[in-house]
């Protein structure tokens, strides 16, 4: 079953908003913001806006939809990836890593198909704490709950390699974080 009709229905209702590339650039990948992500981007009192990170978040989203090169991490905690699959991999929950400015954010998402991601929530990295914290688990739960609400009969896209998720202009970051 294709997820496209579900996405179109949610776009018409305003539950999903497509991220549009920069003027004059064709979209090569799809990215949609769910209601919580839309609030994070649009509300002047959201943490994303108050901490001055909306521009960096929008720039990363545009980089994705324009099909520009993207470093991706399938597992582990090595830095350098703009997009990383979160543990456990079976949840198919991912993060877009907004690492500039100083106040970092994570846009939690799932793939609808190759090159098509749905961002459900945007969270301050500072509030998330360590990768196995209750806050990280909560952020992932929000993502899976929002997905299940919008796409009750459609599981997220899954794959084994980076190319199952991103079909071009992708480089995989491999390995665990180095000990200090």
Using CA atoms, how far residue 135 sits from 45, 75, 126, 138, in Å, is: 21, 19, 10, 5
pLDDT at 100: 79
d(CA 6, CA 12): 10
DSSP state of 104: -
pLDDT at 180: 37
pLDDT at 178: 41
Look up the pTM and report it.
0.91
Average pLDDT across each block of 10 residues of the chain; the chain has 180 residues. List them in order: 90 96 90 97 95 92 94 80 85 90 88 97 88 88 96 94 94 62
CB 77 within 8 A of CB 132: no
Structure tokens given for 107? 């846009």
Residue 123: CB atoms within 10 Å: 23
């Amino acid at each position: 079953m294709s997820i496209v009709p579900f996405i179109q229905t949610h776009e018409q209702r305003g539950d999903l908003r497509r991220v549009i590339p920069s003027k004059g650039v064709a979209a090569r990948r799809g990215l949609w913001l769910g209601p919580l992500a839309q609030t994070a981007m649009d509300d002047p009192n959201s943490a994303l806006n108050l901490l001055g990170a909306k521009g960096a978040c929008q720039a990363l989203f545009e980089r994705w939809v324009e099909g520009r090169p993207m470093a991706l991490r399938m597992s582990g905690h090595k830095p350098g990836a703009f997009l990383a699959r979160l543990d456990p991999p079976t949840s198919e929950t991912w993060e877009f890593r907004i690492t500039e400015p100083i106040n970092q954010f994570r846009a939690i998402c799932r793939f609808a198909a190759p090159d098509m991601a749905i961002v459900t929530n945007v969270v301050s990295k500072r509030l998330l704490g360590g990768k196995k914290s209750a806050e990280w688990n909560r952020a992932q739960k929000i993502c899976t709950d929002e997905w299940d609400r919008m796409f009750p009969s459609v599981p997220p896209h899954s794959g084994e390699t980076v190319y199952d998720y991103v079909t071009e202009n992708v480089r995989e970051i491999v390995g665990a974080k180095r000990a200090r």
